[in-house]
């Protein structure tokens, strides 16, 4: 078998495995230095838009060059996994949770699939060195997925797909295997400014494509460990963990379809919580409601802080 035909067969095998495992999309790009993205990241950091997320400054060389993750790394496989749901919290006056955190922690759910994915690659292709990531390493996940043609970076800075919108998680496999690489696609945001106009804290640059994380409700309710600045009173739109506003208004999300991952289905008692229940939540209830959930990241005291801030 020639090198090019071997590449083709291996690429098709990997794409078939992705489909079997329920990943929504797959794209493949070369593991190499990402020069324009490196400049963009450097500019963003220089503006201090990362806020208290100091880890964004760490391992800069790895972030902008996935070939450095291990000797011989050649390809990055970008994957998306759908989490869109039409399920909503029953009390519309209750503090809100971003829909990505309704069910089990996506890190654990998807990481398990990626381990199986690597095993299948070994079974069907041979001894291939690889590493799997789900929002767990200094990788420019969105930019790698953009390079691989899965979608474009929208004005809200999220990856957007023409076929699937943006309600999906990103994951990656870095392999020491040369494959056929996909091409980036065009930007289809056009003149639309719905996400910019809808953001209650003006976190998105007025031209779009740049996010000041220090103003983002998701950052304020999850990443920020100190008190939420008083300037954001009456601007949180009742979000206590994360925020979905810029996705809710995005026209491309009319193409989103309900996910089929049972582990992402929320507990009934979570969705039935009333405003008063949240305001009086105990640590015991918190632990029960969010066992195995991404909401545990903010911890009980963090969630209580957020709820208190909403009612201040």
CA distances from 119 to 113, 122, 125, 127 (A): 10, 5, 10, 10
For the annotated catalytic residues, the residue numbers are: 135
d(CA 191, CA 189): 6
Do residues 159 and 151 make contact, with C-beta atoms less than 8 angstroms apart?
yes
Among candidate residues 152, 173, 24, 20, the one with its CA nearest the CA of residue 84: 24
Tell me the C-alpha to C-alpha distance, in Å, between residue 141 and each of 157, 172, 279: 12, 8, 36
Backbone angles phi, psi at 220, to 5 degrees: -65, -35
Indicate the Cα dihedral angle 59, 109, 277, 279, nearest 10°.
0
Hey, what are 62's tokens?
């790895």
Is the Cβ–Cβ distance between 194 and 254 less than 8 Å?
A: no
CA geometry: angle 217, 81, 92, nearest 5 deg: 40
* Parallel/antiparallel/unpaired status of strands 159-160 and 25-30: unpaired
When computed from its CA atoms, the radius of gyration of the chain, rounded to whole angstroms, is 20
Collect all residues with Cβ–Cβ distance below 8 Å to 203 and sequence separation of at least 6: 211, 212, 213, 214, 215, 216, 217
């Amino acid at each position: 078998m020639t090198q090019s035909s071997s590449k083709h067969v291996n690429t098709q095998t990997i794409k078939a495995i992705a489909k079997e495992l329920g990943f929504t999309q797959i794209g493949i790009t070369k593991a190499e230095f990402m020069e324009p993205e490196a400049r963009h990241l450097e500019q963003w950091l220089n503006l201090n838009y990362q806020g208290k997320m100091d880890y964004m400054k760490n391992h800069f060389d790895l972030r902008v060059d996935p070939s450095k993750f291990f000797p011989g790394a050649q390809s990055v496989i970008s994957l998306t996994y759908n989490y869109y749901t039409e399920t909503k919290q029953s009390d519309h006056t209750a503090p809100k949770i971003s829909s990505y955190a309704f069910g089990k922690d996506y890190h654990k759910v998807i990481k398990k699939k990626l381990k199986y994915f690597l095993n299948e690659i070994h079974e069907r292709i041979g001894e291939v060195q690889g590493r799997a990531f789900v929002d767990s390493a200094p990788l420019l996940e969105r930019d790698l997925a953009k390079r691989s043609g899965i979608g474009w970076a929208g004005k809200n800075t999220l990856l957007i797909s023409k076929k699937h919108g943006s309600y999906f998680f990103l994951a990656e496999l870095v392999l020491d295997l040369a494959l056929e690489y996909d091409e980036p696609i065009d930007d289809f945001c056009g003149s639309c400014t719905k996400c910019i106009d809808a953001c209650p804290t003006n976190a998105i640059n007025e031209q779009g494509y740049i996010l000041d994380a220090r103003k983002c409700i998701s950052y304020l309710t999850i990443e920020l460990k100190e008190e939420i600045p008083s300037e954001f009173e009456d601007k949180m739109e009742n979000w206590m963990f994360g925020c979905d506003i810029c996705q809710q208004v995005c026209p491309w999300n009319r193409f989103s379809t309900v996910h089929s991952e049972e582990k992402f289905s929320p507990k009934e008692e979570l969705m039935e919580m009333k405003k008063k229940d949240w305001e009086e939540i105990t640590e015991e209830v918190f632990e029960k409601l969010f066992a195995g959930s991404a909401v545990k990241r903010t911890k009980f005291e963090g969630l209580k802080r957020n709820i208190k801030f909403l009612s201040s």
